[in-house]
Amino acid sequence: MQIQVLLSAEDIAKRVKELGQEISRDFRDKDLVVVGILKGAVIFMSDLVREIEIPLELDFMATSSYGQSTKTSGVVQLLKDLDTVIEGRDVLIVEDIIDSGLTLSYLSQLLLSRKPASITTAVLLDKPDRRQTELVPDYIGFCIPDKFVIGYGLDFDNRFRELPYVGVVGD
């Protein structure tokens, strides 16, 4: 299988640092809870929080909508909920990629019902061509074309998450 590099480890590190600085400025004096969406966001999240220079708490949620397909099934399933109470706190949802937008819309709605002070979203990658919702992420690492990508947390059938770069699979 051929993998074509789309974003190198250096490209990603540079952009993640910028996002961390922006988030540090925007959330100064806030009660920040960073929520990573398992499993895809773990690599991005762990790099991002180390570039954020203000205190924060970490938590995780997990969803599933893809199974072994490269297209969303359209139904988002909650596999793991937060442990943290978020009422009155500032929640930053961190996701690997926004594609249809269904996952982030579903999670934002769910968390909004718990009365946080605010909800914002950060994604490493944005595939705007495929959007089925109105959601616009607050922080975007890179806009990419409508290609299935792997690496830096992103998987195909649970493989390739460990690659230090983002790549496109060819044949």
Are the CB atoms for 35 and 56 separated by under 8 Å? no
Minimum Å distance from CB 101 to ligand IMP?
5
Instruction: Point out which span in 15-23, 49-57, 80-88, 144-152 binds ligand IMP (CB under 6 A).
Output: 144-152
Pairing of strands 90-98, 118-126: parallel
> What does the DSSP 8-state code read for residue 7?
E
Task: Determine which helix (DSSP H) or strand (DSSP E) holds 94, and give its type and residue range.
Answer: strand 90-98
Closest to ligand IMP by CB, 87 or 146: 146
Distance CA 128, CA 147 (A): 11
Closest to Mg ion by CB, 89 or 121: 121
81-140 positions binding ligand IMP, by CB under 6 A: 95-103
Residue 101 binding Mg ion, by CB under 5 A: no
Give alpha helix (H) positions in 51-126. 102-112
Residue 143 binding ligand IMP, by CB under 6 A: no
- Which parts of 8-82 are beta strand (E)? 32-38, 57-64, 77-80
9, β-bridge pairs: none
Catalytic residue among 47, 90, 96, 99: 99
18-47 positions binding ligand IMP, by CB under 6 A: 37, 40
Minimum Å distance from CB 122 to ligand IMP?
13
| Residue 129 annotated to the active site | no
Minimum Å distance from CB 170 to Mg ion?
22
